[in-house]
Each structure stands twice: as C-alpha cells, then as structure tokens.
C-alpha cells in the first residue's frame, strides 16, 4: 500500500508549448492519499490499457485530479476503474476547463461522499 500522490505531472516552465504524458498497461492498486493517485497539471494525459483498483483519497478524486489555469485534455481508453473512493469526486475530479474523452472503459463500484464518480 502506498500513501500520498504517486504521479505529479507538471509542465516545466521553460517549455512554453506543452508537455504530454502517456500511461499504458499500468496497474495502480490500494493507494491512499490526501488527493488523487495522479495530479494532472500538464496539457495532455493519455491513459490506456490500465487498471485502477481500490484507491482512496480523503480529499479530491481517488484516481485523477486535474487542476490548472490552462485547458487540459484527458484521454482514457480500455481502462478499468474498480472500487475507488474519495470524499469529492470518486474517480475523477476535473477542476478546469478542458476536454475529457473516455472510450471502451469500465467504471464499477466507485464511490464518493460528494459528487459521484466524476465531478467538475
């Protein structure tokens, strides 16, 4: 079991265009933290063929928290979110203008006290 955020994705200030990241064929299981497993502060994040299970946040979003003053894009494909929980936004907490695209993915038995599986 891990505690705290595992991935904090932030663009370097010297790269003014954009920063991208891709997670492919990853498993994140039984992580605990104040905020989500992944904090997205970069332009584009693509998640595919991944499993997120039994992650828990006592704050915002058990799996992904997207916060930034700029537009962000989150692409999710062939990924499963199982038994994750948070106080605000059970799986995704998207606190910015941006784009969310999700295809061929499974959201099952996720829970939040406020905001359900997804909150914006």
From residue 42, alpha-carbon distances to 18, 90, 106 in Å are 7, 21, 24
pLDDT of residue 107: 92
pLDDT of residue 103: 96
Spatial contact of 110 and 62, defined as CB atoms under 8 Å apart: yes
Q: Please report which confidence band the pLDDT of residue 3 belongs to, taking 50, 70 and 90 as the band edges.
A: very low
3-state secondary structure 5-54: CCEEEECCCCCCCCCEEEEECCEEECEEECCCCEEEECCEEEEECCEEEC
pLDDT of residue 79: 96
Q: Does residue 116 surpass a pLDDT of 90?
A: no
pLDDT per position as a tens digit, 61-86: 667 767 665 667 889 999 999 998 88
Q: What is the DSSP letter of 68?
A: -
């Amino acid at each position: 079991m891990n505690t705290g955020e595992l991935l904090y994705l932030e663009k370097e200030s010297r790269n003014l265009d954009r920063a991208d990241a891709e997670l492919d064929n990853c498993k994140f299981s039984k992580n605990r933290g104040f905020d989500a497993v992944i904090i997205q502060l970069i332009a584009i994040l693509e998640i595919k063929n991944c499993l997120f299970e039994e992650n828990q946040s006592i704050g915002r979003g058990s799996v992904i928290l997207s916060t930034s003053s700029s537009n962000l894009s989150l692409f999710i494909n062939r990924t499963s979110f199982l038994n994750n929980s948070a106080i605000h936004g059970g799986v995704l907490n998207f606190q910015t203008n941006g784009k969310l695209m999700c295809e061929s993915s499974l959201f099952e038995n996720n829970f939040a006290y406020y905001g359900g599986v997804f909150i914006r």
